[in-house]
């Protein structure tokens, strides 16, 4: 049985639950009230925690693994292993200053007062640039610190940037691009490591499927060579004869990233009746 911590409520909750459900794991979820639950069909216990506590619980072995923002993992500096980047909860940790303050690079922060709840990440960044500044730790509503005269700059999470804008601030440095991570205790028992591998296998099958499309088309046999060269595929495309003499049907898998380019090239090369189908799971 693997014990996995996810955020009890907040920005990572829905995506964390969806990730597990998409992996075919079913459990009762009742945000805000339920503190732990056991999956019905997978050896997994889910513990609902505040995100700030997850790295410490993983380090201490209270839970075996957790889903938490990279920003929190870096700030807490606990000994945990990053198993997988999960692609949701994306945000950046930025330094921002009042709109009208001049900024000529990191040196402009020298001896400035910077308000943040990410003291360690900020400290590491300033040390790397050999800039000494005055860091003020505050736990929330960091964005209003400059207008209250409490700080000259802030260091905080930005997503759309609308909170900065509403507080008359502008982003001057991006220090970290963050997303949700699956972290684990570096010293899992073989039995737990095996459950984690099974979970990862499912997550990867879903992720691969989301990044690809299944494509089917008809083409005259004379054009097959050219079309096969265009199709990336996993190994090579499937080619089946059509009932109509001199024609074939081709099937292949195309990565999402190059999908539209490939489609245009196929059409230009003489492919017809092109069908594009989503893939549910994909094991490479
Ligand atoms: O209760 P608990 O301690 O568990 O939750 P929390 O309140 O500490 O965290 P929560 O739920 O707000 O965020 C959880 C994680 O989501 C963070 O640690 C980040 O990894 C990630 N994340 C992604 C964000 C944002 N986007 C985000 N926009 N966390 C916070 N914000 C804040 C930001 O600080 C700003 O104040 O949302 C506000 C709006 O941002 P803009 O730029 O879209 O205006
Ligand atoms: Zn928190």
Q: Is the pLDDT of residue 235 over 90?
A: no
Q: Rounded to two decimals, what is the model's pTM?
A: 0.91
Q: Please list, residue by residue across 66-85, b when 16 or more beta carbons sit within 10 angstroms of its beta carbon and e when fewer do.
A: bbbbbbbbbbbeeebeebbe
pLDDT tens, position by position, 146-175? 999 999 999 999 999 999 999 999 999 999
Distance separating alpha carbons of residues 133 and 118, to the nearest angstrom: 14
CA of 46 to the centre of ligand 1 (A): 22
Mean pLDDT calculated for residue range 52-64: 98
- Per-residue model confidence (pLDDT) at position 232: 76
Q: Is the pLDDT of residue 220 over 90?
A: yes
Percent above pLDDT 90 for the chain? 93
**What residues have their beta carbon closer than 5 A to ion ligand 2?**
51-52
Cβ(52) to ligand 1 under 6 A? yes
DSSP-assigned letter for residue 168: T
Whose atoms come closest to the Cα of 142: which ligand? 1
Cβ(167) to ligand 1 under 6 A? no
91, 156, 181: residue to mutate for ligand 1 pocket, most atoms within 8 A of CB: 91
């Amino acid at each position: 049985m693997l014990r996995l911590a996810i955020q009890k409520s907040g920005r990572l909750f829905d995506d964390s639950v969806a990730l597990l459900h998409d992996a075919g794991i079913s459990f009762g979820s009742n945000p805000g009230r339920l503190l732990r639950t056991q999956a019905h069909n997978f050896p997994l216990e889910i513990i609902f925690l505040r995100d700030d506590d997850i790295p410490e619980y993983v380090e201490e072995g209270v839970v075996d693994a957790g889903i938490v923002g990279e920003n929190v993992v870096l700030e807490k500096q606990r000994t945990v292993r990053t198993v997988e980047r999960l692609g949701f909860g994306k945000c950046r940790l930025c330094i921002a200053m009042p709109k009208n303050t001049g900024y000529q690079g990191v040196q402009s922060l020298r001896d400035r007062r910077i308000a943040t709840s990410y003291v360690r990440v900020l400290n590491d960044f300033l040390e790397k640039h050999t800039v000494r500044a005055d860091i003020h730790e505050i736990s929330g509503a960091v964005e209003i610190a400059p207008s209250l005269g409490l700080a000259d700059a802030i260091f905080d999470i930005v997503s759309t940037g609308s909170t900065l804008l509403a507080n008359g601030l502008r982003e001057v440095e991006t220090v970290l691009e963050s997303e949700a991570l699956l972290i684990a205790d570096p010293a899992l028992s073989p039995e737990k490591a095996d459950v984690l591998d099974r979970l990862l296998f499912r997550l990867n099958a879903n992720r691969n499927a989301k990044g690809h499309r299944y494509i089917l088309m008809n083409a005259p046999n004379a054009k097959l060579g050219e079309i096969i060269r265009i199709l990336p595929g996993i190994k090579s495309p499937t080619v089946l004869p059509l009932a109509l003499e001199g024609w074939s049907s081709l099937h292949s898998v195309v990565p999402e990233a190059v999908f539209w380019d490939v489609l245009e090239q196929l059409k230009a090369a003489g492919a017809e009746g092109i069908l594009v189908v989503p893939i549910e799971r994909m094991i490479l």
